Amino acid sequence: MVKEKTGTKDDMNKVNAKMSALEQENILLRQKLEENEKLSQTSPVVLSDSLMSEMKKIRQRGRVKGQAINVISKSDFKRISLWTKYGKQLGPMHPDNAMQTLNRFADLGVILTVDKPTPEQIEKYKQTPEYKKKLKWETERRAIKDKSRKSGQFDRLSAEIAKMSNSTIDMVNKILPMAEVKK
Amino acid sequence: MAATTVTTVLETLPTIRAAALLQLDEGNIVQPLVTDIPFPGAGYIHETPFINHLTAEQDSDLASQAMEATMSYSAANNLETTPSSATVGINAAYILLNDIAAICSSSDLQALAGQLIGQCLVVRKDLDLVTLFASFGTDQGSTTSTAFAPADLYDAYGSLRKHFAPLPYYLVLHPTQIWNTNGLIVMLDNSSDALQSHGLGTVGEDFARYGFSGMIMGFNLFADANIPMTTASGSGAAFARSAIKCVRKRDFMLEVEREADQVGDKIVGSEMLGVAILRNNHANEMQFPNFS
C-alpha cells in the first residue's frame, strides 16, 4: 500500500507522474502477458495434442457413414464346433451335421464335446493312460508310414553292405582321396 | 538478364482414383468335386437312405436277407447305418449402398457390391464344405508327423478302394501343406524324402516346370486356402465325389431394394443349400501339422 507523503505541490506532481508511469507500465506488461499466453496456446506441441483430440471427437460424434460399405453376412442357423478331449476342433458346421458327427465318432469310441476344453483340461487329459495309449498307437503308426520315405535308406544300405562284407559302416562310407589311393 | 518468376501448378492437378482392386478370396474349390443334388420344391431336410448289400447264400438254406442296413455289416465295415441327411439353410450377405457413395465414386459401386457379396458367399459355401473334412472317421495324417510320407497317400487310396469308392479321387489340401519345406512337394523334389530314387519323375517334373501337378499317386490335386489352419495343424481330405453331398434348394440370387429412409439401396445376395457327409468311408481326413 502506498502511503501518500505530505509535502509541496511539486512533490505531489512528481509522485502522481511516477504513479501514472507505473500504471502505464503495468498495462503494457499485462498486454504482453496476454499475448504470451495466446502464443503458448497456439504453439505446435499443444496444438498437436489438443487438435488431434478434438479431431477424434469430431469423427466420433459426426458419424459420417456415407462412404462406408459394409458387407453383412448372415445365416438362419449358428454353426457349431465339436472338440476332442485333446483339443482338436471339428467344424464349425451346421447343427445337424454336428449331431451326425457326434454320433459317428461315438460309434468309433471317440467322445466329442461342444464345449472347448481348457488348456488345463487338455493337459490333464494328456496325463491319462487313455491318451498315452492313443499317442503310442499314433507314434507306432507314424513309424510304419515313415518307412515309406527314402530318408535313411542310404544308411540302411551302408549297414547291410558292412554286415555282408564283415566291415564297418565307416569303412564302407569312406571314400579315399585320389592321393591316398594305392596303385 | 531477364527476371524469372517461378510458380507451381501442382495444386491444379487432380488425383485420379483408378478402378478399385478387391481383396481376393479363395474360390469355389470343393463344390464341383462333391455330389451335386438339386433339391427344389417342398422339403427342408434331404435324406439319403442306405440299402445293405446282399450276399449270395452258399447252400440251399436261403435265409431271408434284410434290405435295410444292419449293425453286423455296416457298423463294422461301413458306418453307414443311418441315412445321410443334409438340412437346408440360408446363407445371405447384404450391403447398404448409400446414394452419396454411389454418386461420388468413380467406380461402379453397384457392381462392386455384387462382387463383394458374391465372394463372401462363395467363401461361406466352401468353408461349410472344407470344415466337414475333420468329421470323416478315418484320418491318414497326424499332428505328430513332421512331413508327408508317401504312405499317407497310398494308404488313403487303399482305404477308398477298399470301400468301393468310385473314381476319380480328389486330394484337397491347404496351399501351405503342398508348397512348403515339409509339404507334399518334398516327396517329389528328389531329396531324401522324395518318392523316387533317381531323378524327379514325371510328377516331380511337373512341379519343377509348372509349380503344380494335376495328379499325384492317383489323386487329382487341389489347393484350397479356406481350409482352417490352426497353429498346430489343418485338415485336408482325400475323397471321392460320393463322400459329400451338396443339396441346392435355391441358387444364388441378387436383389436390390430401395431403402428410401436410408437414402440408399440395400443389395442382398442369398442362396439356400445344405451340405453333409454322404458316405463316411469314401473319404479320409488328411490332417497335417501347420508347416508355415
The verdict on a CB contact (< 8 Å) between A74 and B276 is no
Does residue B145 have a pLDDT over 70? no
Residue B284 within a domain? yes
Q: How far is A95 from chain B (nearest CA, A)?
A: 9
- Confidence tier at A3 by pLDDT (50, 70, 90): very low
Most A CBs within 10 Å, among B131, B148, B154, B245, to test the A interface: B131
User: Do B223 and B171 meet the contact criterion of CB atoms below 8 Å apart?
Assistant: no
The verdict on a CB contact (< 8 Å) between A69 and B94 is no
- Confidence tier at A40 by pLDDT (50, 70, 90): low
**Least confident stretch, B13-27, B119-133, B162-176, B245-259:** B13-27
- Confidence tier at B256 by pLDDT (50, 70, 90): very high
Our CA dihedral for A52, A54, A59, A62, rounded to 10 degrees, sits at -170
Residues 6+ apart with CB under 8 A from A33: none
Residues 6+ apart with CB under 8 A from B63: B57
Give the residue-averaged pLDDT of A78-104: 93
Query: Hey, how many other C-beta atoms are within 10 angstroms of the C-beta on B244?
Result: 28
Q: How far is B30 from chain A (nearest CA, A)?
A: 15
Where do the DSSP E strands lie in A5-131?
71-75, 80-83, 89-93
Question: Taking all residues of chain A, what is their mean pLDDT, rounded to a whole number?
Answer: 84
Residues 90-149 of A with CB under 8 A from B: 90-97, 100-101, 103-105, 107-108, 135, 138-139, 141-142, 144-149
Where in the sequence is the domain holding B284, given as residue range(s)? Answer: 85-289
| pLDDT given at position A89 | 92
| pLDDT given at position A4 | 46
The fraction of chain A above a pLDDT of 90, given in percent, is 27
Question: Is A155 in the B-facing interface, judged by CB distances under 8 Å?
Answer: no
| pLDDT given at position B5 | 78
Alpha helices by DSSP H, listed for chain B, are: 99-104, 109-130, 150-162, 175-178, 201-210
Does residue B137 have a pLDDT over 80? yes
Select the more confidently predicted residue: B232 or B20: B232
Residue B109 within a domain? yes
Look at chain B and report how many structural domains it folds into. 1
Nearest partner of A72 among B226, B17, B166, B91, judged by Cα: B91
* Domain ranges for chain A: 9-62, 80-146, 150-183
In angstroms, the CA A29 to CA A157 distance is 100
Does residue B262 have a pLDDT over 50? yes
Q: How far is A66 from chain B (nearest CA, A)?
A: 6
- Confidence tier at B199 by pLDDT (50, 70, 90): low
Does residue A44 have a pLDDT over 70? no
**Least confident stretch, B108-112, B175-179, B198-202:** B198-202
| pLDDT given at position B71 | 43
**Least confident stretch, A99-113, A142-156, B142-156:** A142-156
Question: Taking all residues of chain B, what is their mean pLDDT, rounded to a whole number?
Answer: 84
| pLDDT given at position A71 | 82
Residue B107 within a domain? yes
In angstroms, the CA A37 to CA A142 distance is 78
| pLDDT given at position B146 | 67
End-to-end, the C-alpha distance of chain B in Å comes to 68
User: Do B75 and A107 meet the contact criterion of CB atoms below 8 Å apart?
Assistant: yes
Residue B40 within a domain? no
In angstroms, the CA B239 to CA B167 distance is 9
Residues 6+ apart with CB under 8 A from B97: A69, B109, B110, B113, B264, B265, B266, B267
Residue B28 within a domain? no
In angstroms, the CA A89 to CA A81 distance is 7
